[in-house]
Amino acid sequence: MNKYYLTTPIYYPSDNLHIGHTYTTVAADTIKKYKKLKGYDVFFTTGTDEHGQKIQEKAKESGLTPKEYVDGIVKDIKKLWELLEIDYDYFRRTTDEEHEKSVQKIFTKLYEKDEIYKSYYEGYYCTPCESFWSKSQLVDGNKCPDCGRETHLEKEETYFFRLSKYRDRLLKLYEENPDFIQPESRKNEMINNFLKDGLDDLSVSRSTFDWGIRVPFDQKHVIYVWIDALSCYITALGYGTENEENFEKFWPADVHLVGKEIVRFHTIIWPALLMALDLPLPKKVFGHGWILFDDDKMSKSKGNVIYPEPIIELYGIDAFKYFLLREFSFGQDGSFTREKFLQRLNSDLANDLGNLVSRTITMIEKYNESIIPKIGIEESIDEELKSLALSTYKKVDEYMEAFNFSNALEEIWKLIRRTNKYVDETMPWILAKENKKDRLDTVLYNLAESLRIVSILINPVMTKTSKDILAQLGIDEHLTWGDASSWGKLKSGLKVNKKEIMFPRLDIEKELEKLEKANSDLIERRKELKERNRVEENKEVKEIEEKEDFITIDDFSKVKLKVAKVIDCTNHPKADKLLVLTLKIGDETRTVVSGIKEYYKPEDLIGKKVIVVANLKPVKLRGIESRGMILAAEDENGKLTLLSTLEEIDDGATIS
Ligand code: MSP
């Protein structure tokens, strides 16, 4: 069986994911479903990229530990994938112990092979972007060229990966594998912007924060996020663990799907790291475009973030996935607006697909007692429909192979529209009225057959709708992609089952309001939840702080208390308030200086047993070294008495 391995990037769990993030995962899931229908053994990895300074700071702002903070978001991310019925095979968290161990092994291996060395890094550091910049790269004085925020000069001891030496091998890789970077334009970007003028070695550790995987042989450093994150693609397959079966089977990846801004990491750093590890390289990196909101970048501070949950709850996952993959061209940026979404719902889903399903099933019910008829009289117009269906399959298959979902869906919709037109042209209600049963049978069969093909072709994107149409046609067998490649496979005699309308027409004005409200309600709910967590967290922190008046038994056991006998006692020669005591503690004799001269005369103490803190750090008091402290109790009136034992006991006895 052919195998296929594909991945999404692992998402930063610094905040809830918006529709932009969802886009990559929906595309990956669609590819998986498509390949599975074609009979491939597919493995699909996704996950979360949880380390780094930004997350550490976000967690601090919320009063949580980094792990507590990411745990909450990761739960929401997994819930979102469940809601979208994303069929991933492995969810890799970079805080998984297994991942951490494998990454440490990778780092050590690279160090031992002299692919990594220790040196210094100096540059202008942007904390939110976790990036170093050179002076010439800064904008407006000392601002980060990526986010426009202030940077600061930092010099840091760091480990470097010898990235520079891989420049030529990378250029050769692109040349020999023209499909390695897709779309083509991104390849040119990599060559012209990064490789043409040579590459610098890459800083791969940090010592200025500690939320990361430790460099195993130098605990001061944590492994910088990119080695940590990129390795997820192989650690998710068990690389570096006892069980590398999946790695042996699925590596190298057939495709890494990534957003355009991280193409550089995946086409320069990642292959170079793999070359250094002597591992096979992925076959393809596809850099898709960005989803903007009204032509603007989505961001929390601009208040224009669109979350997927309200859309899915109101209109279902298929409408959402259809829109994402139909509206935007996968390689390019596109702009999301709620109007466009609702318009497509009305035109493509309600008018075209929903209408075709509903009229086909209704007519079979009405004119043939719900049974799919046998073909009767054929006419030339049928040929047109047939040949369009067959050419649609071919085109859709080609577009799907190229991850051109938008064109693939467009072709399917051409077939849907043509089939609707076929209804208008053949007018089955007239055929029924005129009792032309043989012709009517053919028309009804052809409509059902076209729908069968459509439902297979939309399956990778609109799985629920596809199953729903097949169920309405009375088909319950498992179909494969190839079943859409020929006309006439539909069995006559099947009984159709009408269900309620799949995509009712919507009042756009009303829905717009609903959608906007649902999105802002969700934002409010999340804010409140965060606030509530913070309040509760503060309460807990306070309680813990109050509890900090207590010490644990371990704390107490650090203090070594002993019974000591005073064998000599004199006034301190240089101090008015101090006595110098010679104590016998078992076999040992030691000197302790104590500020009790106003309470005791030396002769009162000689021969008495006292309690001494035996492991106190020695101090010199007015020239005499005191090795310990004797315990005394003092009341509010200033009365002071030395502590002793209730019964007589040998000196050297331990107190616990
Ligand atoms: N953690 C890194 C990836 C490490 S992979 C070894 C990261 N995470 S991210 O959460 O910032 O982004 C994850 C993916 O979401 C990226 O591919 C990014 O391009 C994509 N998107 C984030 N916002 C997006 C849009 N508005 N539109 C489309 N995709 C976008 O980068």
- CA 256/CA 254 separation, integer angstroms: 7
Is any ligand 1 atom within 6 A of the Cβ of residue 291?
Answer: yes
Taking the C-alpha atoms of residue 109 and residue 288, their distance in angstroms, rounded to an integer, is 33
Report pLDDT for 542. Answer: 62
Cβ(258) to ligand 1 under 6 A?
yes
| Residue 136 pLDDT level (bands cut at 50, 70, 90) | confident
Residue 537 has pLDDT above 60, yes or no: no
**CB of 285 shorter than 6 A to ligand 1:** no
Least confident of 77-81, 283-287, 339-343, 529-533: 529-533
Distance 401 CA to ligand 1 centre (A): 23
With the most atoms of ligand 1 within 8 angstroms of its CB, the residue from 6, 11, 73 to mutate is: 11
* Start-end of H helices in 180-307: 184-190, 225-230, 232-235, 245-250, 263-264, 270-276
Q: How far is the CA of 26 from the centre of ligand 1 (A)?
A: 13
Residue whose Cα lies nearest atom 19 of ligand 1: it is 259
Residue 314 main-chain phi, psi, to 5 deg: -80, -35
Protein residue with its CA nearest to atom 8 in ligand 1 = 11
For the Cβ of 282 lying below 6 angstroms from any atom of ligand 1, the answer is: no
pLDDT of residue 540: 61
Query: Is 636 inside any structural domain?
Result: yes
228 touches ligand 1 (CB under 6 Å): no
Q: Which residue in 130, 173, 120 sits closest to 151, CA to CA?
A: 130
Domain identity same for 476 and 393? yes
**Is the distance from the beta carbon of residue 20 to the nearest atom of ligand 1 less than 6 Å?**
yes
Give the residue from 200, 194, 190, 197 showing the smallest Cα distance to 287: 190
**pLDDT for residue 622:** 85
β-bridge mates for residue 288, sequence order: 259
Q: What is the pLDDT of residue 480?
A: 96
Amino acid residing at 165: K
Confidence class for position 547, pLDDT limits 50, 70, 90: low
pLDDT at 545: 56
Q: From 6, 8, 21, give the residue whose CB has the most ligand 1 atoms within 8 Å, as the site to mutate.
A: 21
**Looking at ligand 1, which residue's alpha carbon is closest to its atom 29?**
20
Instruction: Examine the domain organization and report whether 478 and 559 are in the same domain.
Output: no
Kindly report each contact of residues 626-630 with a partner whose C-beta sits within 8 Å and lies 24 or more positions away, as own/partner.
Answer: 626/591, 626/592, 626/593, 626/594, 627/590, 627/591, 627/592, 628/564, 628/583, 628/590, 628/592, 629/592, 629/594, 630/564, 630/581, 630/583, 630/592, 630/594, 630/596
**CATH number, domain with residue 388:** 1.10.730.10
Angle at 8 between CA 467 and CA 53, to 5 degrees: 140
Residue 23 beta carbon below 6 angstroms from any ligand 1 atom:
yes
Residue 568 and residue 468 in one domain: no
Query: Do 478 and 365 have their domain in common?
Result: yes
> Looking at ligand 1, which residue's alpha carbon is closest to its atom 18?
259
Q: Please state which of the ranges 212-216, 385-389, 551-555 shows the lowest mean pLDDT.
A: 551-555
Asked if residue 584 is part of any domain, the answer here is yes
Residues 581 and 463 in one domain: no
DSSP string covering 516-580? HHHHHHHHHHHHHHHHHHHHHHHHHHHHHHHHTTS--HHHHHTS-EEEEEEEEEEE-TT-SS-EE
* Number of domains forming the structure of the chain: 2
Q: How far apart are CA 301 and CA 303, in angstroms?
A: 5
- The whole-model pTM stands at 0.80
Measure the CA–CA gap between 177 and 169, rounded to whole angstroms. Answer: 12
Assigned domain for 292 exists: no
**Residue 432 is assigned to a structural domain of this protein:** yes
**Percent of the chain scoring above 90 in pLDDT:** 78
Say if ligand 1 is within 6 A of residue 11 CB.
yes
Token look-up 């600061």 returns 152
The residue written with tokens 């010679």 in the block is 582
The answer as to whether 136 is a domain residue is no
Q: Cα of 389 to ligand 1 centre, how many Å?
A: 37
Q: 49 CB less than 6 Å from ligand 1?
A: yes
Confidence check: pLDDT of 83 > 80: yes
334, β-bridge pairs: 291
Q: How far is the CA of 197 from the centre of ligand 1 (A)?
A: 27
pLDDT number for residue 548: 55
Residues 354 and 472 placed together within one structural domain of the fold: yes
Q: Is the pLDDT of residue 600 over 70?
A: yes
Closest ligand 1 atom to Cα of 9: 5
Q: What is the CATH number of the domain that holds 594?
A: 2.40.50.140
273 pocket-lining for ligand 1 (C-beta < 6 Å): no
580, 625 contact by CB (below 8 A): no
Residue 442 belongs to a domain: yes
From atom 15 of ligand 1, which residue's Cα is the shortest distance away?
Answer: 21
Task: Give the three-class secondary structure for 61.
Answer: helix
Q: What is the full DSSP assignment across 147-188?
A: T--B-EEEEEEEEEE-GGGGHHHHHHHHHH-TTSEESHHHHH
Does one domain contain both 348 and 467? yes
Cβ 213 vs Cβ 228: under 8 Å: yes
Contacts of range 239-244, beta carbons closer than 8 Å, 24 or more positions apart: 239/102, 240/101, 240/102, 240/103, 240/105, 240/106, 241/98, 241/101, 241/102
Higher-pLDDT residue of 242 and 529 is 242
* Mean pLDDT taken over the chain: 93
Q: What are the tens digits of pLDDT across the range 481-522? A: 999 999 999 999 999 999 999 999 999 999 999 999 999 999
Whether ligand 1 lies within 6 angstroms of the CB of 10 is answered as: yes
Looking at residue 535, its pLDDT comes to: 64
Pocket test for ligand 1, best of 14, 17, 24, 299 (most atoms within 8 A of CB): 24
Indicate which residue's Cα is closest to atom 23 of ligand 1.
20
Is the shortest distance between the CB of 336 and ligand 1 below 6 Å? no
**Residue 80 C-alpha from the chain's centroid:** 12
- Reported as a pLDDT band with limits 50, 70 and 90, residue 354 is very high
Q: Is the CB of 360 under 6 A from ligand 1?
A: no
Q: Mean of the pLDDT values across residues 536-553?
A: 63
Question: 32: Cβ below 6 Å to ligand 1?
Answer: no
**466 and 346 housed in the same domain:** yes
Residue 608 CB-density burial (10 A; 0-12 exposed, 13-18 middle, 19+ buried): middle
pLDDT at 534: 61
117 pLDDT more than 90: yes
Domain boundary among 458, 484, 510: 484
638-647: average pLDDT: 91
pLDDT for residue 394: 98
pLDDT at 488: 96
Protein residue with least CA distance to atom 13, ligand 1: 11
Candidate from 95-109, 316-330, 411-425, 549-563 with smallest mean pLDDT: 549-563
- Residues 164 and 171: their CA atoms lie apart, in Å, by 12
Stretch 356-362: mean pLDDT: 97
User: Within a domain: residue 428?
Assistant: yes
Short-list 277, 278, 253, CA closest to 266: 253
Confidence of residue 543 (pLDDT cuts 50, 70, 90): low
| Residue 338 in this model has a pLDDT that exceeds 90 | yes
Q: What is the pLDDT of residue 327?
A: 96
Q: 632 is in which domain, residue-wise?
A: 555-655
- CA-to-CA distance for 187 and 13, rounded, in angstroms? 29
pLDDT band with cut points at 50, 70 and 90 for residue 546: low
Cα–Cα dist 90/96, whole Å: 12
Same domain, 567 and 480: no
Same domain for 480 and 599: no
Does residue 305 sit in helix, strand or coil? coil
Weakest-pLDDT range from 273-287, 375-389, 631-645 = 631-645
What percentage of residues in the chain have a pLDDT greater than 70?
97
Nearest alpha carbon, ligand 1 atom 16? 259
Q: Is the CB of 261 under 6 A from ligand 1?
A: yes
In a domain, residue 404? The reply is yes
Residues 347 and 475 in one domain: yes
Q: How far is CA 223 from CA 53, 266, 317, in A?
A: 12, 18, 38
Given 484, 499, 514, the domain boundary residue is 484
Instruction: Report whether pLDDT(397) > 90.
Output: yes
Whether residue 451 is found in the same domain as residue 573: no
**Residue nearest atom 10 in ligand 1 by C-alpha distance:** 11
| DSSP three-state, residue 637 | coil
Establish whether residue 256 lines the binding site of ligand 1, counting it when its CB lies within 6 angstroms of any ligand atom: no
Burial code (b: 16+ CB inside 10 Å, e: under 16) for 554-565 equals eeeeeeebbbbb
End position of a domain, from candidates 425, 451, 484:
484
Q: State if residue 627 touches ligand 1 by the CB under 6 angstroms criterion.
A: no
Ligand 1 centroid to residue 163 C-alpha, Å: 23
Please state, as a whole number, how many other Cβ atoms lie within 10 Å of the Cβ of residue 311: 22
